[in-house]
Amino acid sequence: QSHELHMVAPDHLKYDQPSIVSGRNDVVTVTPWLAPVVWEGTFNPVLLDSIYKLQNITVAATVFAVGKYVMFLKDFLETAEQHFFVGFRVHMYVFTDQPDSVPQIKMAADRQLTVLPVPSSKRWQEISARRMELIQKLIEEKLRNNIDYIFCLDVDSKFHGRWGTESLGGLIAVIHPGYYRDNRKRFPYERRPESRAYIATGEGDFYYCGGAFGGMLQEVHQLAKTCRTNFEADAKEGIEAAWQEESHLNRYMWVNKPSKVLSPEYLWQDFKARNPEVHIIRFSGVVKNYAAIRPN
Ligand code: UD2
């Protein structure tokens, strides 16, 4: 798609006639609370871009690279440049304990990157979980008033296909690629009632990833603040949820319901074979040797 095409307002754009009787019939494209589920073939990217161009939006993305995870930054940032909100104003925020190791990436004129120093940590669980606190503070201290949408992404991943305006909305969750065909009793939710991330057997909607979520700034602020508060209150009582902040995020999304859900196209895992309903992989986690890269 050319940039000029993006500039055409929807009423001047020629596009395929929408239909309410034909479309994808191998997947479900709306949740029971009427949030769209985004799959390839359910949206027109050129039309969506032309709608959002009129709104002059800025999209932020956060990514954490602490310890050996700095090695993932280059591929993450380079592929984001090719696929993540191309043609829109994008501001990347990289949290790291090694600002000097952040690679220099050639970025388009409407895109920028800010490096934010964070302390190193001895426990990977802590690095992963502290992200909520840092996202909360970033929104409070730096982003209010100049960013419309924000996505919070795992660094040990790469973009392979378009991730753009079709993903925008109030509160955005991504369905985890590992569990979406399973019965919810098998989801790895936190199952101890003492935890503030608790979800009982037979409850819950989907299993969402901790590695990608987002939405409008205020919604993500509320999510980060709540997950952080609950994580810290649990910690005071000596409880760490099964999957740290991912467990708290799942509890939050169950109580608050995302306004749009992204299919596993938006976070696949490189070691998994592609399932037939997945027509495109947009973003996926790289294969990593946990023992070699985590601090403990
Ligand atoms: C899952 C989630 C992850 C998080 C974790 C539970 C997905 C794909 N991943 O992944 O988001 O919820 O479970 O805690 O949903 N990091 C560092 N340095 C470290 C360790 C972690 O920078 O030494 C950062 C980095 O940005 C990384 C993120 O924390 O992407 C998540 O850690 P992980 O990739 O080790 O977690 P993982 O793959 O088990």
- ipTM comes to 0.93
Ligand 1 atom at shortest distance from the alpha carbon of 293 = 23
Q: Residue 12 has what pLDDT?
A: 84
Token output for 70: 């700095």
The one catalytic residue among 190, 245, 246, 265: 246
Distances in whole angstroms, Cα of residue 122 to Cα of each of 67, 90, 216:
9, 32, 32
Among 63, 64, 128, the mutation site with the greatest number of ligand 1 atoms within 8 A of its Cβ is 128
Q: Residue 125 has what pLDDT?
A: 81
- What kind of fold does domain 37-293 have according to CATH? Spore Coat Polysaccharide Biosynthesis Protein SpsA; Chain A (3.90.550)
Q: Return d(Cα 172, Cα 169) in angstroms, integer.
A: 6
Domain ranges of the chain: 37-293
Distance 7 CA to ligand 1 centre (A): 37
Among 132, 133, 154, 246, the mutation site with the greatest number of ligand 1 atoms within 8 A of its Cβ is 154
Cα dihedral: 75, 78, 84, 86 (round 10): -170
- List the pLDDT tens digit at each of the 296 positions of the chain: 444 445 678 888 899 999 999 999 999 999 999 999 999 999 999 999 999 999 999 999 999 999 999 999 999 999 999 999 999 999 999 999 999 999 999 999 999 999 999 998 888 888 888 999 999 999 999 999 899 999 999 999 999 999 999 999 999 999 999 999 999 999 999 999 999 999 999 999 999 999 999 999 999 999 999 999 999 999 999 999 999 999 999 999 999 999 999 999 999 999 999 999 999 999 999 998 888 888 86
Q: Residue 289 has what pLDDT?
A: 85
Distance 24 CA to ligand 1 centre (A): 32
Distance 28 CA to ligand 1 centre (A): 28
Q: Residue 3 has what pLDDT?
A: 47
Distance 154 CA to ligand 1 centre (A): 6
Confirm whether 246 is a catalytic residue: yes
